[in-house]
Amino acid sequence: MPGEARTSKTGRLPPACIPCRRRKSRCHTEPGSSMCTTCRAHSSECFFPGDPRDQGNAQLTRRRRKGTAAPARQMPRPAEAITAALLDQDSHPLPLPPLPSPPPAPSPIPGSKVQESPLALASRDDQQQNLHIVGPAGRDDSQVLADYLAGFPGGTRSARMIVPVSAAHSRPVLFTMVDKRPVGTAEDRSVSAQKLVIIEKLLEPYIGLLVDEYFKKSNACLPLLDEDSFRRQFQDDKDQISPALLACLYAHSLIYWRHSPDLVLLRCPDTRFIWNLANEALYSELHLSPGMSIISALLLNVGGRPNTSLIGNGLMLGSAVSMAYSLGLNRSPLHWDIPQPEKYLRMKIWWALLVNDRWMSLAHGTPPHISRSHHDVPWPKMVYFCENEATDVQRRTASVYIALVGLSDVLDHHLQRIYQIHQDKDSTPGKLEASLNGWVDSLEGSTRLIVLRGTWLHIPGAANLRLAYLTTRLLQQRIELETEKQQSNTDEAQLSNKHTQARRTAEEILMLTQELQAEQLGDFWLSITAFTFPATVNFLLRCALDTEDSPQALAQSPFFQIAHSLMNVLRLYQEKYEWDIGNVCLAQHSDIINKILAGALSNEPQTSQSMQTPDFIMPDASIMDEFYPSLWDPLQNAW
């Protein structure tokens, strides 16, 4: 077999195949393949020395041994050289034909290492180079130049083209090799590795239990890693996993420590200290050797709880989006000639990035980084997450996540309306309502009951989905209310109706929060959900100030009563269960609520104008650092 002929027992480089020798190009054969990668790209025959097809080459070797040289080949003129190189007998002009189907990979032997993907799209973090996607404008030019240079000694360029299985679905995608590290830096991962060693020493011997909690809680509701391949590599070859990824995974999972039946009776290490170490490992690896794993590590860091870093998380998310574009994660890999698990993993990372980008944009008050016109990754389906033997809980959990991704796309329409400087005439609040109602109508089974009635909250991620839906609906109603206020001919009754609709949605948020049990409080929550409650209380207090004209009436307003009750239940969960999602709301509005109550009980006469002091102007997310330096100081926080 040619694959066996490529094995070298002397430590020397294995011989190249005959067509690669003629092309004077590098020859590389992958395990389990009978053809080298260059011959596969050119759709040419691939045979090695000793093959019967190598008769001509053997005769040439005998002539050289006898001292007779073959007739010198006449050098073509420059124009003829280009034509001859592009129309070589082993190459084909663009576009390249589809690659032949590779032979089926042998089933893995128990206890042996699983072979890496043949494409190896930056899947190993110890590689010195990354594959960087070539833009559509220069793809054809780069491929023609690469084919031409293949005919010169040492003139090859490191490039790899991914040809779709069917040319009718998509065009070929070209990748080129780029260095990971800055010029002059040594190949040394000791900084991030040392931080990981300290973290693991603090967590021993409960690292395995912490990893179990991550896949049970976080990864089940927001899939980011392939559990089977991760556990296999974690057990057999842990050193090949990115230290930053492991450090952020450990720190990310600490929030579930007190909710785990196996860990709750054990002393939890200092969460802030571990997060500081994970940050140092992450920033070191991001600077020295960023790869595919760094995107997952960044998303784990951004999604870490409790959420106390505004600018830091925004910078990390921007870095993750930039890396994703560089690695081509925004392109659909369904028709690429790569293994199926790698396709699913690339799409999962992109969906997680998309969800975080949309909701963080709403929470932080900044436009999203990802535009819907810059990616063609398909929307998630059940087949991407569950196999035939999947349990009912796994299928219901996957359906919740699929609905969350769809809701994030609906939220993007609202974000475009909010951040658009020059408003589009076609972007009306009615279309926003139609998009949200269309998403609700697409839901089925238990997922529909979760969204509309707040039942089935025992499904992992269900409570987070219900709150996300109510947040989007309240945002839509706030947009409608602002639109009504800007119109000069607005009817007072119509404006009052808009206030009532928004108040009912806020009341549903209150009832959902009151109905949460310890099981839901210890379940998965997006870290940016912490901004939902202060935004809701902020809106309720504003509506109370707009509709009431005295301190007593303000304290008795239904808007204020809902805000007060929401603050009370959040304070109860913080004291009894240490639920961190309400910390931001309590820090921002506790003093404000108390001052309103004190003003209503005071005997001093106050007017509605005196109530509207700077203390009652709700701080926007962009100025939280000034109001709450203990929480938002980027020099003191760890997340």
- pLDDT value of residue 185: 60
What angle in degrees, to the nearest 10, is found between the helix axes of 243-253 and 190-203?
30
Least-confidence region, from 418-432, 498-512, 554-568: 418-432
DSSP, res 36: B
Torsion of CA 86, 89, 94, 99, to 10 degrees: -150
Say whether both 487 and 500 belong to one domain: yes
The answer to whether residue 285 sits within a structural domain is no
- pLDDT value of residue 266: 92
Q: How confident is the model at residue 611 (pLDDT cuts 50, 70, 90)?
A: very low
Say whether both 408 and 504 belong to one domain: yes
Say whether both 465 and 588 belong to one domain: no
How many angstroms separate the CA atoms of 129 and 132, rounded? Answer: 9
- pLDDT value of residue 297: 96
User: Could you tell me the two tokens for 142?
Assistant: 């780069």
**Residue entry with tokens 């707040």:** 454
How many C-alpha atoms does 290 have within 13 Å on its Cβ side?
20
The answer to whether residue 317 sits within a structural domain is no
The answer to whether residue 608 sits within a structural domain is no
Say whether both 634 and 498 belong to one domain: no
Q: Which of 114, 149, 179 is the last residue of a domain?
A: 179
Say whether both 453 and 536 belong to one domain: no
Q: Which of 493, 525, 557 is the last residue of a domain?
A: 525
How many angstroms separate the CA atoms of 513 and 507, rounded? Answer: 10
* pLDDT tens string 258-267: 999 999 999 9
How many angstroms separate the CA atoms of 555 and 439, rounded? Answer: 37
Phi/psi region, residue 456 (left: phi>0; alpha: psi -120 to 50; beta: rest), is left
How many C-alpha atoms does 165 have within 13 Å on its Cβ side?
11
Starting at the edge strand found earlier in the chain, the sheet holding 129-133 runs 129-133, 173-179, 159-162
* Three-class secondary structure of residue 622 per DSSP: helix
- pLDDT value of residue 634: 28
- pLDDT value of residue 81: 40
The answer to whether residue 268 sits within a structural domain is no
What does residue 63 show for φ and ψ, rounded to 5 degrees?
-65, -40
Answer whether the bond into residue 205 is a cis peptide, omega within 30°: yes
Give the bridge partners for 179, in sequence order: 129
Say whether both 430 and 500 belong to one domain: yes
Length of the chain: 639
The answer to whether residue 491 sits within a structural domain is yes
| Residue among 437, 430, 384, 364 nearest 407 (CA) | 437
Say whether both 581 and 495 belong to one domain: no
First to last CA, the chain: 54
Q: How confident is the model at residue 484 (pLDDT cuts 50, 70, 90)?
A: confident
What does residue 183 show for φ and ψ, rounded to 5 degrees?
-65, 130
How many angstroms separate the CA atoms of 7 and 14, rounded? Answer: 6
Higher per-residue pLDDT: 195 or 611: 195
Number of domains in the chain: 3
Higher per-residue pLDDT: 444 or 154: 444
The answer to whether residue 496 sits within a structural domain is yes
Say whether both 466 and 551 belong to one domain: no
Say whether both 486 and 593 belong to one domain: no
DSSP, res 68: P
* pLDDT tens string 108-136: 444 444 444 444 454 555 566 777 777 77
Contact predicate 526/577, CB 8 Å: no
Say whether both 500 and 575 belong to one domain: no
* Three-class secondary structure of residue 597 per DSSP: helix
Cβ neighbours, 10 Å, residue 331: 19
Least-confidence region, from 42-46, 159-163, 533-537: 159-163
DSSP 546-582: HH--SHHHHHH-HHHHHHHHHHHHHHHHHHHH--GGG
Answer whether the bond into residue 306 is a cis peptide, omega within 30°: yes
DSSP, res 179: E
Say whether both 458 and 419 belong to one domain: yes
Contact predicate 532/576, CB 8 Å: no
Q: How confident is the model at residue 153 (pLDDT cuts 50, 70, 90)?
A: low
- pLDDT value of residue 582: 94
Higher per-residue pLDDT: 252 or 157: 252
Q: What is the average per-residue pLDDT within 141-155?
A: 62
The answer to whether residue 35 sits within a structural domain is no
Say whether both 489 and 556 belong to one domain: no
- pLDDT value of residue 399: 97
Domain limits at 597? 530-601+625-638
Whether residue 631 is predicted with pLDDT greater than 50 in this model: the reply is: no
Side chain identity, residue 130? N
The answer to whether residue 514 sits within a structural domain is yes
SS (H, E, C) 488-515: CCCCHHHHHHHHHHHHHHHHHHHHHHHC
Q: Which of 479, 503, 525 is the last residue of a domain?
A: 525
Higher per-residue pLDDT: 246 or 160: 246
* pLDDT tens string 172-194: 777 777 777 776 665 555 689 99
Answer whether the bond into residue 49 is a cis peptide, omega within 30°: no
What angle in degrees, to the nearest 10, is found between the helix axes of 492-514 and 462-486?
160
